[in-house]
Structure 1
Amino acid sequence: MDLLRFTTAGSVDDGKSTLIGRLLYDSKSIFEDQLEAVEESSRRRGDEHVNLALLTDGLKAEREQGITIDVAYRYFATPKRKFIIADTPGHIQYTRNMVTGASTANLAIILVDARKGVIEQTKRHSFIANLLRIQHVIVAVNKMDLVDYSEEVYNQIVSDYASFASRLDNIIDITTIPISALNGDNVVDKSDKMPWYKGPSMLYHLEHVYIGGEENHVDARFPVQWVIRPMSDEWHDFRGYAGRVAGGVFKPGDEVTVLPSGFKTHVKAIHTPEGEISEAFAPQSVCLTLRDEIDISRGDMLVKTNNPPEASQDIEAMICWFSNKPMPPRAKLVLRHTTRETKAIVQEIKYHVDINTLHKVEDVEGFNMNDIGRITLRTAVPLLHDSYRRNRHTGSFILIDPGTNETVAAGMIL
């Protein structure tokens, strides 16, 4: 079975955690003792219904306030597919948490309260999904039970969202579903309370949405994580290079170039824990052996000779600032990209994005927590990269404060 990673997003109290609790509950993916604990907790809190949001909101502060603060990951499976859910917070001050949870997602569920319609948070989270190149979006119009399952209300929200989404360039597949997470309408099973809705239930769509074409299988990229030298009698002369294929396809016999040294050689064999395989493609983790003895170490990259990545010390990127300490102009940071780490300095801050209006705010001096904007970086050594639009693996990086070792920003190369 293949794996779908998806994230939830939406404003405060739109029902993100309740929706995930309903998905887990109706798909029989929680144990009896978990349900009993949630029922008991709901009783103690005085809730009218079993509060399914408690399945994901595990922090004490989250349960006390009834909000999501940190990203919660949950796993479940159906006979069709395996799923990893990232339940992300809706508050504006937790934008960085949403970026973290959505950074590996194939699909985003953006919840809209049927009573409020498309609001600023809806636009903010759609912009972040677009920035992170999440190509599939479900717009879940929630709390339909509170508007008497009105088709007119639903159609107006669909129209408003389509008008806004026309300004986004990366999202290629938008599906709108009217639901009631509290009552389970159109979540796992189709609801008979909305006969006017002819589309699929949410779980059916999650099981069948096609995500196979999102990896870059054209540009062959293999960042080396580790050099394997067993030093045993059985594998006396073995020298393999372990890592995760970040793009393209590698086969025994392929000519490859080692970057940054530029030496050329051929792939001898591809090893996995199950034995040798005839080809490796993203995002498989494998060990490559080469025909020639070349000095290769962590941070080097194996690429197809006829299709190398760009190598440059000047990097244009969009970043989201994570740290509660502001970023000063000309900040000196550590940049971690694939398996390589280098020093970097912020040369120029181009603009911030006002994620309420999507307007560019120029003449800014630094970044505060949750700010998103465009910068120019200068690295100490050339970075072997592609644009984030072309390859999410070789086009992304994180910035680290060298004094505290704190991850202060995530970046996407333009």
Structure 2
Amino acid sequence: MDLVPLLRSLIAVDSTSTRSNLPMLDLLEREARALGFETRRQAWLDANGVEKGNLVCRRGPEAGGGLALVGHSDCVPFDPAWGEALLGVERDGRIYGRGAADTKGFLAAALVAASRAAPGRRPLSLLFTADEEIGCLGAKRLLAEGRVHPRHAIVGEPTSLTPVRAHKGYCAVEVVFTGVEGHSAYPEVGASAIHAAGRLFPELEKIGEALRAEVDGAFSPPHTTWNVGVIQGGKARNIIAGECRFTYEWRPIPGQDPRKALRLVEDACARVAQANGGKVQVQVTPLRTDAAAVTPAEAEIVRFLESESGNRPTTVPFGTELPEVIGLGAEACVFGPGDIRVAHRTGEYVEIAQLEQAAGILTRAIERFCG
């Protein structure tokens, strides 16, 4: 099995999260079955009625234990003007295309590693998931199903072959203020949702300061961060705004209740609504409340990847499928080829040399943890 042609074939499949990932699973399943894996799928329709699925591949005994290589099959959208997005162009020792780093490079390396390693006494699982980019939804379904129980796992992400043993959580809410529309020349006839939302923002700053009080020195920044990334409201400059909505996200450090900020936001919204005399209503809708994930530095999988890569384990502030994989019962670590700084952007690429190195490390991981 040739690594670069395989990666190029994966890149050629448009697996943007808004689309069905089944064509990607078809390709992955063909390759896995050719290597002697038994396969099955979890299938569902997403909120927009689009077919999605997870692909579970197993080689070896039908039992718990062994090793799982876990990678998501979806990608973020790409600029239509980027002509190389689905071509997997090879240039200057790199492969360019959407997903080259995040995270089709890992998928290709995992399959190639499986082709190089002989079947072992313990099971090898390849877990290809859906909708990681929009909430780790496929991994959550695997966890809820509860049928796969690896002893060790490597979660593929572009870490530049540095073991990532822990990351912050990810939480988000949508806040909707509903006021009363009216002519802006007569403010007494209405109640502005935008003005009410504006009065909430100093409260959000205070919440942010409260979250900074708890720190974990293993992370940079060492505290829970927050952000208002999207805000919308109003119809015209001379109409009292009847609605204002925004998203508020925070990334809790390990050990912090991921719902702590949610409770603080809900309390602040209630105070603002009360101050408006009941003319403005506020609705807070949780979107995600994912806790942080931690694997100890002394864990066997972490020590193995550190030894093989020559890179010391680290932590990151962004989320992955690590919490769900740990929930399956695995001692797990995030690891893979590619640089996160070039992911999610036009011109995404992965170094071919790093791909080859990753395939070698994953081959030795299979030999080590599957026997």
Q: TM-score range by the shorter chain?
A: under 0.3
Greater relative contact order (Cα < 8 A, sep 6+): 2
- TM-score between both structures, scaled by the size of structure 2: 0.26
Task: Select the structure that is richer in strand.
Answer: 1
- TM-score between both structures, scaled by the size of structure 1: 0.24
